[in-house]
Chain A
């Protein structure tokens, strides 16, 4: 076991970004190799971390002791007078909830690096930004200090903005600015809640140190009884502490007992809603999804891959790690609404996908539909539902990667993505058709592929919810199943229109450009297909990592509803 493994995971791509920046332009051809090697190393390190991770050893999600591979040092602190001491930790760690996301990110980023192989223009900028993006995405998943998390979260925007805005399609500027501003609005909501949380949560360990008490429980008792006054505590951004309601200063804005009010409502509810919207934009959920289709369509293939494969998952991960963990009572209060938006997104995204003419847009809307399952699973607040939500994020990460690469294959060759411009491609591109078939069937939830397990668990958990905890009614999962039928509809019709029937393309000059899949493309598709199959047949591979954490997370939610 390597010390500081998680740090290496974040800093390897960062270092590579620096190398790319410093290498003079005549070594331009090596940039892509540097990126590939760096992300390859990152992936190996991540695999190392995943194998070293002991799923059964995880404990409650609100206890630091249940984390593994923890790295925690004070990063900076300053006295802010009456606001107390402002202290930010460099705090990384893994538990069942983020280890799956970390693994996904490492895989997708590596595949993205292969997909970037043929980038032609402004290579230095592209690869430096791509590596920076990689580092910030990875950091986002393993940072457990809210400040650090937020830093990585914001840092993702910058490279993404340029990667879409410079290397994108015809309407790249519009897409980039829309993506940027939309996500920024979400970030601001998160920032506000972060400040509110900072003012409400204290660090029992550091507070104890200042007051000479060694036991965390005694500190908590002392703060609760007022022995240690509210302005004598050491405040914290620690996300693990924030999940433990006893670490909230009594009477502070976001405390569960005697909490403050905003607009005449419990401040916790408002804070929860702010986080919910902030991350729902990222997820994205209806009605905050409109940045997604345009961003996807305009982004270059590898960036679409990263966007759909990982960035959306930051939204779902953020909901679990922050909104649901910090404010489980509010989550329960709003569970009906969350479930409803989940179901609505599933159907709405699917119906939209049905009407699309551009294959990339179709895939983008299918992402909206599939991410609806994440919301539904979380809203269910049952073990099956939450496991399903995480599984769906993981599985969709792989499947969406494959789907966007597929769209990229076609676009690379003809610069055209309109479904109606092709017919009978199976004659011309038989191998490509097989790949497309696998990806489409995986995405429509055919058993044997990972998506099925995910959607199944979400539906089971959601149906069970009403009799177990009463978070969402039984009709929601039943209505959600219509999404499965619609998914079969839009994928099969696309398959039929583009790949079956007589061979025909709109522009006859495309025929000579339409070559079947190359070795480089195989290198991306074969491992992805294998992984999607593997996780569809052996769900335990992932479940063993996440089970314990998810269970304790659900216990956390259940306790909150019983209080």
Chain B
């Protein structure tokens, strides 16, 4: 029998805690101190993040090969239940800290220039500090409750940064939308915590895993036996709660990683400053959902994983389709992000744990790079705006031919775009290939309708290549369209390449998007990443356990691999060609793109409006809730309170009736009595004549009568 208290017992003091505290503390210092630094904020915050990056790199190098470091402690206790915290430094945590700190540092550097003229930039850097702090919290803690807390704090920092330019109504609304929709996912995650807590009495992930091994399915019930403080405990829930727990935990990822049906917040989140989009809404925060899935991976049962796979594939496909026809450069990248996150989630669902994480890392680099280069373009275009000349610096229609003006930016963008499209030689190819391979193998095992999931994945490859090369062609080739639109030809000469603060981070991310970084190999499974991260073994009880890719033979995989690689490269190449024919410099579309209208066909509109999901939510569901709340408020005021007031009124009426009754009936009766007794008095007064004889006579009569009554 396994003892719960042994699993969650606080560990002996470990000096590693100082490192962890430093990792969390440095961004926290940045958060607090930047309320006071004013003009010095950018440099100070970037410096702090550089320190943190160095710490995380140091830790990664030192502890990569060792056993995971686990530090546990107690936080508070309720009754005999202990709520603890635990820190866990394994390879996943180490690589994620490097990733988050590194990209955060690059974005800090980028923001020094990007936010130079903003009067509230100190606050901006402060929020970035809060974000980095909370993101690192999710990574370093290994206790679902504590992770949930940081999870929500990440949501807060995202809210603050999306709504950073709060004077814009659209920005503040987008911030709200992001927070509220994330909350819906978080509430699901919270429900998952409730289920796990009821069954296991702890949130510690290591303990949860150990206890999950000891749970079994008996008569459709999910039963766990363990001891707590030496006392036997047998917790039992209906077996369906096991699947429900997995799906509920996944809900959190659905919100944060922008999966169907909660993905609508991410495109709106582009209202935030572009470096924020790069850091939070592309590279790190949105990947937190995938990270969470990786952490709870072994606790998910077959059904939950199927849901994960289906949602991931649907999201990947839907978002890639929507990215095909957007006019806003950031919107294209946002839908692309959703689509790529869909890949990662799908990977988790089909059991491709390491492939999903691999894609998380590669995507962080190339998508971060894409956003930063987009940021350079937007920033440099924005410089051209003046009181007289107003235009939307994110609109593809004003761009074109930028490779002449910004060659380095172009090069970075191109490299990252190639990585996104998944062409060999670039990192995206490796990870996407691994995901598609695993998904295909998975579907092959399950057979039949399950093939829809890899098929959606392949279609997404095609779409991805089309939309990203559409961007490349429309933004960088042919001629600069802005001068024509604003009718000022001189404006073009003012457009310059961004300065080194903007360029350097983009270059670094572009370099990291080349596949050689992960090993000079064309096969994903030979990269160092895949070597270090092996697929863990499911721990859920037998009847609910998922199919595991580990079970597949080497031959099956090998046989599939070449096939998968050919198809995916082929599709990406087709996408590139399609894009070329549609948007190449001399194509019909490119020639008149400055006045390109919104797509008219049903498919085009479906794509532009992202399947009308937003309309459904805003015009139907949100309206319904608001209407509901208004009618409930009416009900409360008129009916519930009306009853109370009505009750009071009835009382008042009743009181008046009583008063009337009192006055005329009761009092009337009294008056009547008085009147009657008066009359009787008058009538009898004659008896009292003052005549003594009469008195004696009447007394005698009475006496006789009394005697008679007594005798008989």
The residues of A with any CB-CB pair to B shorter than 8 Å are 178, 181-182, 286-287, 289-291, 348, 351-352, 354-356, 383-384, 387, 424, 426-427, 441, 446-448, 452, 456-457, 459-460, 463-464, 467, 474, 477-478, 481-482, 484-485, 488-489, 492-493, 495-496, 499-502, 538-540, 543, 547, 550-551, 554
Contacts and interface: CB of A to CB of B under 8 A. Distances in A.
Given A181-B648, A287-B640, A478-B194, A355 B629 contact: yes
23 contacts: A287-B640, A290-B641, A351-B633, A352-B636, A355-B626, A384-B78, A447-B149, A457-B78, A460-B197, A463-B198, A477-B194, A481-B190, A485-B180, A485-B183, A488-B179, A489-B180, A492-B179, A496-B173, A500-B167, A502-B167, A502-B169, A539-B75, A550-B79
Contacts of A500: 163, 166-167, 169, 172
A446 B182 CA distance: 12
B195 A463 contact: yes
Given A352-B629, A492-B180, A538 B640 contact: no
Interface in B138-195: 145, 148-150, 152-153, 156, 159, 163, 166-169, 172-173, 175-176, 179-180, 183-184, 186-187, 190-191, 193-195
A464 B233 CA distance: 14
A452 B190 CA distance: 11
A351 B632 contact: yes
Given A484-B187, A501-B166, 17 more contacts: A178-B644, A290-B640, A351-B628, A351-B629, A352-B632, A352-B636, A354-B625, A384-B79, A384-B81, A452-B149, A481-B187, A485-B184, A489-B625, A493-B176, A501-B168, A547-B78, A550-B79
B198 A464 contact: yes
B231 interface: no
Contact of B193 (A354, A460, A485): A460
A488 B179 CA distance: 8
B582 to A, nearest CB: 40
A543 B76 contact: yes
A539 B79 CA distance: 13
Contact of B156 (A178, A427, A441): A441
A27 to B, nearest CB: 41
Nearest to B237: A467
Contacts of B186: 484
Contacts of B67: none
Contacts of B148: 447
Nearest to A460: B197
A517 B75 CA distance: 35
A447 to B, nearest CB: 3
Contacts of B145: 456
A462 to B, nearest CB: 8
A446 B152 contact: yes
Most interface-central of A181, A446, A460, A539 (chain B CB within 10 A): A460
B553 interface: no
A221 B179 CA distance: 62
Nearest to A286: B640
Contacts of A467: 198, 235-237
Interface of A is mostly: helix
**Size class of the contact patch on chain B:** 35 or more
Contacts of A496: 172-173, 175-176
Contact of B167 (A289, A424, A554): A424
A492 B166 CA distance: 13
Contacts of A291: 644
Nearest to B151: A447
A285 to B, nearest CB: 12
Interface in B603-655: 625-626, 628-630, 632-633, 636, 640-641, 644, 648
B555 interface: no
B556 interface: no
A467 B195 CA distance: 11
B536 to A, nearest CB: 27
B438 to A, nearest CB: 33
B243 to A, nearest CB: 14
A501 B170 CA distance: 9
Contact of A482 (B176, B187, B632): B187
Ranked nearest first, the 9 interchain pairs of A and B with the lowest CB-CB distance are A383-B79, A447-B149, A355-B633, A500-B172, A463-B194, A354-B629, A290-B641, A500-B166, A355-B629
A492 B167 CA distance: 15
B531 interface: no
Contacts of A474: 241
Most interface-central of A289, A452, A488 (chain B CB within 10 A): A488
A383 B78 contact: yes
Interface string B565-577: 0000000000000
Nearest to A483: B187
A543 B79 CA distance: 9
Given A543-B77, A550-B79, A551-B80, A355 B172 contact: no
A384 B83 CA distance: 11
Contacts of B172: 496, 500-501
Contacts of B169: 500-502
B355 to A, nearest CB: 32
Contacts of B153: 446-448
Contact of B183 (A356, A384, A457, A484): A484
Contacts of B179: 488, 492
Nearest to B145: A456
Nearest to B632: A351
Contact of A551 (B79, B83, B168, B193): B79
Contacts of B168: 501
Nearest to B203: A460
Contacts of B152: 446-447, 452
A419 to B, nearest CB: 14
A332 B489 CA distance: 81
Nearest to A437: B160
A507 B419 CA distance: 56
A551 B648 CA distance: 42
Interface in B193-227: 193-195, 197-198
B197 A448 contact: no
Contacts of A441: 156
Most interface-central of B81, B175, B629 (chain A CB within 10 A): B629
Given A352-B629, A467-B236, A539-B76, A446 B190 contact: no
A351 B235 CA distance: 36
B167 A427 contact: yes
A190 to B, nearest CB: 19
A492 B630 CA distance: 18
A118 B319 CA distance: 57
A182 B640 CA distance: 13
A501 B167 contact: yes
Interface string B120-154: 00000000000000000000000001001110110
Nearest to A490: B629
A448 B159 CA distance: 16
B235 A355 contact: no
A481 B191 contact: yes
B469 to A, nearest CB: 38
Contacts of B633: 351-352, 355-356
Given A290-B641, A543-B77, A426 B166 contact: yes
B346 to A, nearest CB: 27
Contact of B632 (A355, A446, A456, A554): A355
Interface string B508-524: 00000000000000000
Contacts of B159: 492
Nearest to B190: A481
A383 B79 CA distance: 6
A543 B78 contact: yes
Contacts of B173: 496
Contacts of B81: 383-384
Contacts of B632: 348, 351-352, 355
A526 to B, nearest CB: 14
A387 B235 contact: no
A73 B241 CA distance: 55
